[in-house]
């Protein structure tokens, strides 16, 4: 006989979590608590729809996802029943990043190393495409028990994230200004980071004619621009400017360039060589995001960067300890010959 809906299926229409997601979580919790055992029938679609006055489509969607995930199966005329009650202690982590790059590899390696044998991780990329982001999240919602997500900032993002189990959702790096403390995770406060960094080198800024932030068209972290502008509004004695059309940008002798895109960094290094300029004397360059190559390029490029290694360790701690904290990640300055 099917288990009673009142003891298995729990639905709260006041919650933002979609009905089908609540049904999935109810069945999963029933298995974890031992209320549902191998071979047990779960509440039928008709009985559940009648009890909660909800559309059958939501129930079918929930049961189809559970069947795809290998949790339940069905037999015509009999109903849906449990086929998998394994309770692995391991976390099965869905890791969704925007793009791959060397500094995110630093995060990933630290994250994996801290998890060791306590979790399995599968990584995906949304490439700053909200459609891809939504498809990946929705298609994998029932296949993992933990979600670590670097969100694409968009008006639809919060709604998409609401379809996941909020207790097992951790947001990575971006979204501090957009989401505040709504989601557990490890965030970077880019607006504060750039302001604090500039404040720490205020005396050295006087050595340059202009301070320029090169923010190319493929950059999306606009909080960096806001922090840059905040600082120079408070320090009007310096000439400062944000350059967003960086393709044809040519620096002047005496400029200090803060560079977000590594392609722009390459162009600055080449331009300096062509004009026989010495980085750190004729042109100052500070590059975002530390990578091993920046230690040796042009006798060393100064960098400012999130501490990606610590970010990975902190995120692993949140996941393993089931904490729902809100951690702001540290920001590092490595002073080399280019500044």
Residues 6+ apart with CB under 8 A from 248: none
Q: Specify if 146 maps to a domain.
A: yes
**Tens of pLDDT, residues 289-319:** 998 899 999 899 999 999 999 999 999 999 9
| 17-22 own/partner pairs: CB under 8 Å, 24+ apart | 17/162, 17/163, 17/165, 17/166, 18/58, 18/162, 18/163, 19/54, 19/55, 19/58, 19/62, 20/58, 20/59, 20/61, 20/62, 20/65, 21/62, 21/141, 21/163, 21/164, 21/165
- My answer on whether 176 and 264 are in the same domain is no
* Domain of residue 312, residue span: 91-189+308-331
pTM, to two decimals = 0.76
CA–CA separation, 73 vs 95, rounded Å?
27
- My answer on whether 178 and 196 are in the same domain is no
- My answer on whether 51 and 98 are in the same domain is no
CA–CA separation, 66 vs 24, rounded Å?
7
**Tens of pLDDT, residues 319-331:** 998 778 999 999 9
Question: Which of 82, 109, 126 represents a domain boundary (last residue)?
Answer: 82
**Tens of pLDDT, residues 116-136:** 888 899 999 999 999 999 999
Q: Specify if 201 maps to a domain.
A: yes
CA–CA separation, 278 vs 337, rounded Å?
9
Q: Specify if 217 maps to a domain.
A: yes
CA–CA separation, 185 vs 133, rounded Å?
18
- My answer on whether 298 and 312 are in the same domain is no
> Which of 18-22, 157-161, 255-259 is the most confident on average?
255-259
Number of domains within the chain: 3
* Average pLDDT score over residue span 211-224: 92
Q: Specify if 336 maps to a domain.
A: no
Q: Specify if 339 maps to a domain.
A: no
Evaluate if residue 255 carries a pLDDT over 70. yes
Query: Domain with 61 in it: what CATH number?
Result: 1.10.10.10
- My answer on whether 218 and 258 are in the same domain is yes
Query: Quick one: which of 70, 61, 111 has its CA closest to 91?
Result: 111
H helix or E strand, kind and range, residue 242:
strand 240-243
């Amino acid at each position: 006989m099917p288990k009673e809906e009142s003891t298995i299926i729990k639905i709260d229409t006041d919650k933002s979590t979609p009905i089908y997601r609540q049904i999935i979580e109810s069945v999963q919790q029933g298995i974890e608590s031992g209320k549902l055992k191998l071979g047990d029938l779960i509440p039928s679609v008709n009985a559940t729809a009648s009890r909660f006055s909800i559309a059958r489509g939501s129930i079918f969607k929930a049961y189809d996802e559970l069947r795809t995930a290998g949790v339940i199966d069905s037999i015509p005329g009999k109903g849906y029943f449990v086929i998998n009650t394994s309770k692995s202690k391991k976390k099965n982590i869905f890791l969704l990043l925007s793009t791959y790059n060397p500094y995110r590899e630093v995060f990933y390696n630290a994250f994996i190393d801290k998890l060791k044998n306590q979790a399995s991780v599968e990584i995906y990329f949304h490439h700053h495409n909200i459609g891809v982001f939504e498809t990946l999240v929705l298609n994998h919602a029932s296949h993992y028990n933990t979600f670590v997500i670097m969100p694409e900032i968009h008006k639809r993002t919060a709604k998409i994230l609401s379809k996941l189990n909020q207790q097992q959702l951790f947001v990575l790096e971006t979204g501090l200004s957009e989401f505040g403390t709504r989601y557990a995770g490890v965030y970077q406060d880019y607006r504060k980071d750039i302001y604090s960094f500039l404040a720490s080198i205020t005396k050295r800024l006087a050595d340059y004619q202009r301070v320029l932030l090169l923010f190319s068209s493929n950059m999306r972290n606009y909080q960096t621009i806001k922090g840059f502008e905040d600082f120079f509004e408070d320090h009007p004695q310096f000439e400062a400017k944000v350059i967003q059309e960086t393709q044809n940008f040519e620096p002047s002798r005496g400029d200090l360039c803060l560079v977000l895109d590594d392609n722009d960094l390459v162009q600055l290094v080449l331009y300096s060589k062509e004009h026989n300029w010495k980085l750190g004397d004729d042109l100052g360059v500070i590059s975002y995001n530390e990578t091993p190559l920046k230690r040796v390029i042009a006798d060393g490029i100064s960098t400012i960067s999130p501490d990606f290694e610590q970010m990975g360790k902190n995120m692993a701690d949140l996941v393993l300890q089931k904490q729902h904290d809100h951690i702001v990640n540290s920001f590092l300055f490595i002073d080399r010959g280019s500044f």
